[in-house]
Amino acid sequence: MRAHYPVVVIGGGQAGLSMSFVLKKRGIGHAVLEKHRIANAWRTQRWDSFCLVTPNWQCRLPGHPYAGADPHGFMVKGEIIRYIEDYAAAFEPPLHEGVSVTSLRRDDAGIFQMKTTAGDISAGQVVVAIGGYHVPVIPRLAERLPGRIVQLHSSEYRSARELPVGEVMVVGSGQSGCQIAEDLHLAGRRVHLCVGSAPRTARWYRGKDVVEWLDRMGHYDLPVHEHPLRERVRAKANHYVTGRDGGRDIDLRKFALEGMRLYGRLRNVRGCVLELGADLRRNLDHADASAASIKASIDKYIAATGIDAPAEAPYRPVWEPPPQAPLELDCDASRLSAVIWSTGFRSDWSWIEIPVFDGRGYPGHKRGVTSVPGLYFLGLPWLYTWGSGRFSGVARDAEFIAEQIHPSILTASTGMPERQQSWSRALPP
Ligand SMILES: Cc1cc2nc3c(=O)[nH]c(=O)nc-3n(C[C@H](O)[C@H](O)[C@H](O)COP(=O)(O)OP(=O)(O)OC[C@H]3O[C@@H](n4cnc5c(N)ncnc54)[C@H](O)[C@@H]3O)c2cc1C
């Protein structure tokens, strides 16, 4: 590595590579520093049967749209990794793998100084593209579970085969929790699932993938400042659904009919007894209501545009929790051998010693542009649109940030911003 770069991109996932592609296209000198290997999260934090929830046609990294034979299908883990590897091979980013940035600060002259595991470097501008899922979240009541029970975070789960014989509890019903519960269920395990308030969506409706309808309806172009929830949408759980076996709904009620045990939220651990919330019915109803409301918006769109789409009967719940749904589970009596914590991730920006964070520790930015000249964030969920933290929207955000890093604002000698930019003030709210 050199001692100084005009631009350093931190992170070699799809966001960092996208940034590198657009910088290279503009002839802007830069380096990409990646702690592990490219596509590390897809390699190391996803289970064996993992596949995309978003259809392949939504994989549109800049200069590298999905070109396979199954645009309406859902790539499996190996294909996703290959898609990213092929991307890097096609444009050869100036990539340094195995290099972790351990501290980032800005000196009095406005130059960014980085400590890395390969030595100190500086840069005129920095794009932080390390995703938003840094530290697995496991509630501390996990410490009170009997020691014989194997505990994993969803990012560590690989397959039913790797768990000890016995019944398995999955805590959390977001996308990961529901998909892991299904994976275990299909493998013949008795699954106990603690259902939270995550919404769900149907996979198909009136002849199309719901994602395709929402795309036509402009949902994926809606900027965060026009969303009814504004920035609060960034903290919302994703709708659960799957791309497995060509794509289908995840209907937890159907799983219950087939023998999966559903509960409300995990409230407490008392010895070997798990205390469970009384909110199962409410949470299932809430998930169904969210799916119904998406369908209603599609119906409205179809009616308004006069599209000829087949009608579809409304969803009817196939199972209801019994009036006396169990509020406790005895780990010993149920021969529980493993718990999979599907309780999400949190961000860790502690190594960035620059005052751009808000009261909750989230980086303040407008479309990834911070108030500190030359510092940008890319790849965060809802950075600008729904697709910002996904394959579908990162290209638009990378292009936008690259426009802010236009060569005219880099001096030849240091790569410093030529003037103390106030461009973020000119951006939309
Ligand atoms: C379970 C799950 C399912 C998902 N499913 C989909 C889906 O179906 N479709 C979709 O479009 N999106 C999906 N996503 C969202 C998104 O596509 C992924 O999170 C994706 O990994 C984000 O890419 P990224 O490049 O922004 O971040 P990451 O893939 O997390 O890449 C960041 C990189 O930065 C590196 N890094 C971190 N810190 C440092 C440092 N200090 N120095 C140097 N390098 C560093 C990491 O090693 C990593 O390789 C899913 C996410 C999750 C968690």
> Over the stretch 177-187, which tens digit does the pLDDT of each residue have?
999 999 999 99
The closest-lying atom of ligand 1 relative to the alpha carbon of residue 392 is: 11
* CA-CA-CA-CA torsion sign (291, 293, 299, 302): negative
* CA–centroid distance, residue 43 to ligand 1 (Å): 10
Question: By the 8 A CB rule, do 123 and 3 touch?
Answer: no
Residue of 201, 206, 276, 273 lying closest to 237 (CA atoms): 201
pLDDT at residue 227 is higher than 90: yes
Average of pLDDT values for 107-133?
97
What per-residue confidence (pLDDT) applies to 410? 59
What per-residue confidence (pLDDT) applies to 368? 97
Find the residues whose C-beta lies inside 6 A of ligand 1. Answer: 10-16, 33-36, 40-41, 52-54, 100-101, 129-131, 133, 176, 379, 389-392
What per-residue confidence (pLDDT) applies to 49? 97
Average of pLDDT values for 367-381?
96
| 327 vs 277: CA distance, rounded Å | 6
Question: By the 8 A CB rule, do 89 and 20 touch?
Answer: no
What per-residue confidence (pLDDT) applies to 423? 38
* CA–centroid distance, residue 41 to ligand 1 (Å): 5
| 70 vs 65: CA distance, rounded Å | 13
| 3 vs 342: CA distance, rounded Å | 41
- Residue 287 CB partners (closer than 8 Å, separation 6+): 173, 198, 199, 200, 240, 252
- Residue 411 CB partners (closer than 8 Å, separation 6+): 124, 418
* CA–centroid distance, residue 350 to ligand 1 (Å): 18
pLDDT at residue 413 is higher than 70: no
* Burial (CB count within 10 angstroms: exposed 0-12, middle 13-18, buried 19+), residue 131: buried
* CA–centroid distance, residue 14 to ligand 1 (Å): 7
Average of pLDDT values for 234-262?
96
Q: How confident is the model at residue 354 (pLDDT cuts 50, 70, 90)?
A: very high
Phi, psi of 221 (to 5 degrees): -100, 0
Question: By the 8 A CB rule, do 84 and 194 touch?
Answer: no
* CA–centroid distance, residue 429 to ligand 1 (Å): 26
Average of pLDDT values for 216-243?
95
Report the residue among 130, 214, 397 best suited for mutation to probe ligand 1: largest number of ligand atoms under 8 A from its CB.
Answer: 130
What per-residue confidence (pLDDT) applies to 325? 83
Residue that has been written with the tokens 């999905």 in this structure? 66
The closest-lying atom of ligand 1 relative to the alpha carbon of residue 380 is: 26
Mean of the per-residue pLDDT values of the chain:
94
What per-residue confidence (pLDDT) applies to 425? 37
The closest-lying atom of ligand 1 relative to the alpha carbon of residue 391 is: 11
- Residue 93 CB partners (closer than 8 Å, separation 6+): 12, 17, 20, 21, 24, 32
The 3-class secondary structure across the chain, one letter per residue, is CCCEEEEEEECCCHHHHHHHHHHHHCCCCEEEEECCCCCHHHHHCCCCCCECCCCHHHCEECCEECCCCCCCCCCEHHHHHHHHHHHHHHHCCCEEECCCEEEEEECCCCCEEEEECCEEEEEEEEEECCCCCCEECCCHHHHHCCCCCEEEECCCCCCHHHCCCCEEEEECCCHHHHHHHHHHHHCCCCEEEECCCCCECCCEECCEEHHHHHHHCCHHHCCHHHCCCHHHHHHCCCCECECHHHCECCCHHHHHHCCCEEECCEEEEECCEEEECCCHHHHHHHHHHHHHHHHHHHHHHHHHHCCCCCCCCCCCCCCCCCCCCCCEEECCCCCEEEEEECCCEECCCCCECCCCECCCCCECCECCECCCCCEEECCCCCCCCHHHHCCCCHHHHHHHHHHHCCHHHECCCCCCECCCCCHHHHCCC
What per-residue confidence (pLDDT) applies to 324? 85
Residue of 142, 187, 130, 145 lying closest to 163 (CA atoms): 187
Q: How confident is the model at residue 409 (pLDDT cuts 50, 70, 90)?
A: low
What per-residue confidence (pLDDT) applies to 407? 65
Q: Whose CA is nearest to atom 15 of ligand 1?
A: 390
Q: Whose CA is nearest to atom 50 of ligand 1?
A: 390
Average of pLDDT values for 183-208?
98
Please state at what angle helix 77-91 crosses helix 14-25, rounded to 10 degrees.
20
> Over the stretch 254-307, which tens digit does the pLDDT of each residue have?
999 999 999 999 999 999 999 999 999 999 999 999 999 999 999 999 999 999
Structure tokens at 115: 């400590």
One-letter amino acid identity for 334?
S
Average of pLDDT values for 318-340?
94
Beta strands 345-346; 30-34: pairing state: unpaired
Residues pairing with 276 in the sheet? 266
Q: How confident is the model at residue 419 (pLDDT cuts 50, 70, 90)?
A: very low
- CA 334 to chain centroid, in Å, comes to 33
Residue that has been written with the tokens 């000119």 in this structure? 426
Question: Picking from 72-81, 208-217, 367-376, 414-423, which range would have the lowest pLDDT averaged per residue?
Answer: 414-423
Beta strands 336-341; 150-153: pairing state: parallel
| 226 vs 333: CA distance, rounded Å | 51
Report the residue among 390, 391, 392, 401 best suited for mutation to probe ligand 1: largest number of ligand atoms under 8 A from its CB.
Answer: 390
> Over the stretch 41-95, which tens digit does the pLDDT of each residue have?
999 999 999 999 999 999 999 999 999 999 999 999 999 999 999 999 999 999 9
Q: Whose CA is nearest to atom 4 of ligand 1?
A: 52
One-letter amino acid identity for 216?
R
pLDDT at residue 411 is higher than 70: no
